[in-house]
Structure 1
């Protein structure tokens, strides 16, 4: 019996087989679901170690499966790779950067898939606010953990703004020099 389970949820048998073939050799079992409802049921039954989720699915969309996963503390920490042929379908529902899951655009190559899996595993380990942590909520309705996460994000964005300003300054200087 395999030590780890990977669940591939996609309505295309070709994609499910392609993902299976691209996965590295290892001690794991690949489970497959052809629609969102079947996938969600398998997630709850089998508790996979990784989920590969197509965004457009019959019966229950990838978006709806994602929302269900986020409602349950023990499910939302499962590493998740969302797959879609059109990234805008995903970004219409969820804003970038994708903090707790990885996105991969179809079609993809083996190295892209394996990189997405590694990234999804890393992202799944990031701290999140859990239902049980609501007791730590401050007077403003925000927990101290959430405030710390937001402060880290602000610091990162401030550094990015400084780098962008520097790059724009260099670009303006270059254009002036050419004129």
Structure 2
């Protein structure tokens, strides 16, 4: 990656420093962003050769950043490594994400990071050649075909008034799903802040 840029996006300064230390020494510039909004701005301005991206962040999470990247033809081929200590939650929210981007679970060792970077690079090349469409990146948690059929079939045979009420309830449920994801992000952010605070207090004692 001679003469190129690597972007680390994470709301934890500790994680950003750790990832920076893990990266091999070479002729590339390492830049940082504190959250998804700042990270997206840096991506659009700097066009990095690799993005290491935390999934759960305040203001804009990694999932939303990935969607924005994929919507821009000039950025969609950038290799992305998603980072999180909660792989199970990530898989529930966007399971298809792993088909296009690499994932590394926190905490990780340098070897884990290197493997993830190599795999992300391979997947990025495949996306470039296959021209993966934007709609291939999920915009909501995956639902199985059986669940979708169970929702649609009874609705089609119900009276019009009932159908409207059911649709209204479905919209409310979807909104609650979105709010739940945001709440999880806020809890994760608070947990990180608490860990940083405890670490700081211990250093001062």
Q: Same fold (TM over 0.5)?
A: yes
**Once structures 1 and 2 are overlaid, which stretch shifts more, 86-95 or 17-26?**
86-95
1:145-156 counterparts in 2 under 5 A? none
Task: Compute the displacement of 1:130 (Å).
Answer: 5.0
Match of 1:43 in 2: 43
> Which secondary structure does the structure 2 equivalent of 1:119 belong to?
helix
1:2-25: per-residue Cα shift (whole Å, max 9, x none)? 711000000000000000000011
Match of 1:164 in 2: none
Match of 1:101 in 2: 101
Structure 1: give runs of 5+ residues left out of the alignment: 132-179
Distance 1:60 1:53 in 2: 11
Structure 2: give runs of 5+ residues left out of the alignment: 135-205
With structure 2 as the length reference, what TM-score do the two structures score?
0.61
Match of 1:170 in 2: none
CA contact (8 A) 1:73 1:130 kept: no
CA contact (8 A) 1:63 1:93 kept: no
Larger helix proportion, structure 1 or 2?
Answer: 2
Task: Compute the displacement of 1:76 (Å).
Answer: 1.4
Task: Compute the displacement of 1:96 (Å).
Answer: 4.9
Task: Compute the displacement of 1:89 (Å).
Answer: 2.2
Match of 1:16 in 2: 16
Q: Are 2:3 and 1:29 aligned?
A: no
Match of 1:58 in 2: 58
Match of 1:128 in 2: 131
> Which secondary structure does the structure 1 equivalent of 2:41 belong to?
helix
Distance 1:46 1:97 in 2: 24
Task: Compute the displacement of 1:28 (Å).
Answer: 0.6
1:88-107: per-residue Cα shift (whole Å, max 9, x none)? 22112222572221000000
Match of 1:165 in 2: none
Q: Cα RMSD between the aligned structures? A: 1.5
Distance 1:46 1:17 in 2: 20
> Which secondary structure does the structure 2 equivalent of 1:75 belong to?
coil
Which runs of structure 1 show a deviation greater than 6 angstroms over 4 or more consecutive aligned residues? none
> Which secondary structure does the structure 1 equivalent of 2:37 belong to?
helix
1:73-117: per-residue Cα shift (whole Å, max 9, x none)? 221110000000100221122225722210000000000001100
